[in-house]
Amino acid sequence: MTLGKKLSSVVRGFGIAVLVAVAGFPVYWLFTTATHTTAELFGGQVQWLPDLGQFFTSFTSAASGVPMLRWLSNSAVVAFGTTFLSLTIAILAAYALSRYRFRGKGVFGFALFATQMLPEALLVVPLYSIFLTFGLLDNLTGLVLSDTAFAMPVAVWILKSAMDGVSLEIEESARVDGCPRYAMLTQIMLPLIAPSIAAAAVITFFEGWNEYLFANTFITDEQKWPASKGLASFIGEFVTPLNHVMAAALMFTLPAIIFFLFVQRRIVSGLTAGSVKG
């Protein structure tokens, strides 16, 4: 290995280490804070290292007195519901945008983009009115619908781009081979764009999992709070048990990390290689 290559390898390694430290430090700090008592945290000395002996005590005391599991399961319902609904609609919409010519196609595509230009806070009042009319207040279905409205357009554009990259001749070949038009999605398109579906699933899942604004406004029943709203409830007017907040935040983060690790294996490129010569 030449000196230049060694130097470039060291610089690259250093760059990666910095990025990992920047991204990982908040999680580390979350963990460290969660394993110390409030007295230690506010004792005037910075606690750099986690106290592993306190680990379980801290977590059990954080979860006691609050329906933490219930909140987490509510969040899971909203996140998986948003992912499922968004992807179902987005796959169909993306296929239509990618493969069919129809009147208003351009306007429809722009309208999808336009939804991303509106801040969520602007829609809280009109949505409240709509949800009141349809009985969706204090209802997780309402949260799934509102989050889908924001997550789905992004998914449509991700999936449309992926579908545009699939050669039309593969579908034509399938048509000649006897594949019905309605089965083109499941037989040909979906397996080929699986990496993009996984990417869209991650985005839509986190839209639902991180839901707070609508939950804060539309859900008043404590049993129906998602975990994000539950977490915020730890912050009291006079006292905020910071170690409990951080322990609960870790519990909130864990399922999302597991979901991401599970899905990210599908986000690989080169799946369509070998299909058409080039």
Partner 1 sequence: MPRIRFNGITKSFGDHQVIKAFSADVPDNEFLVLLGPSGCGKSTMLRMIAGLTDITTGQLEFDGTVVNGTEPKERDIAFVFQSYALYPHLTVRANIAFPLLMSRFKPYHHLPVVNTLMRRRVLRDPEVDAQVRRVAEMMELTDYLDRRPRTLSGGQRQRVAVGRALIREPSVYLLDEPLSNLDAMLRSQMRAEITALHQRVGKSFVYVTHDQVEAMTMGTRIIVLNEGVIQQYGTPKEIYDRPANAFVARFIGSPPMNLIRCRLEGRSLRFPDGGTLQLPEGCPSPDSLERDVVLGVRAERISVAPSDAVASETLPAHIVLSEYLGAETVVAFKSGRRADQAEQGTVAEHDVLQARIPGELHLTPGADCTVRLDLTNASFFDIDSGERLPVAVPEATT
* Residue ranges in contact with partner 1 by CB under 8 A: 167, 169-170, 172-180, 182-183, 186-188, 190-192, 194, 270-278
Q: Report in angstroms how near the CB of residue 239 gets to partner 1 at its nearest.
A: 51
Instruction: Give whichever of 111 and 183 is closer to partner 1, judged by the CB atom.
Output: 183
Among the listed residues 133, 81, 99, 79, the one whose alpha carbon sits nearest the alpha carbon of residue 253: 79
DSSP character at residue 114: H
Q: Report in angstroms how near the CB of residue 184 gets to partner 1 at its nearest.
A: 9
Instruction: Give whichever of 135 and 165 is closer to partner 1, judged by the CB atom.
Output: 165
Contacts for 270-278: CB closer than 8 Å, 24+ residues apart = 271/191, 271/192, 271/194, 271/195, 272/165, 272/166, 272/167, 272/192, 275/167, 275/170, 275/192, 276/167, 276/169, 276/170
Q: Report in angstroms how near the CB of residue 104 gets to partner 1 at its nearest.
A: 20
- Tokens matching residue 196: 């993009």
Q: Report in angstroms how near the CB of residue 84 gets to partner 1 at its nearest.
A: 12
- Tokens matching residue 164: 């545009």
Distance CA 223, CA 57 (A): 24
CB-side neighbour CA atoms (13 Å) of 98: 23
Q: Report in angstroms how near the CB of residue 83 gets to partner 1 at its nearest.
A: 15
Instruction: Give whichever of 119 and 270 is closer to partner 1, judged by the CB atom.
Output: 270
Instruction: Give whichever of 43 and 191 is closer to partner 1, judged by the CB atom.
Output: 191
Q: Report in angstroms how near the CB of residue 171 gets to partner 1 at its nearest.
A: 9
Distance CA 136, CA 86 (A): 18
Instruction: Give whichever of 164 and 172 is closer to partner 1, judged by the CB atom.
Output: 172
Cβ neighbourhood burial of 209 (10 Å; 0-12, 13-18, 19+): buried
Instruction: Give whichever of 26 and 165 is closer to partner 1, judged by the CB atom.
Output: 165
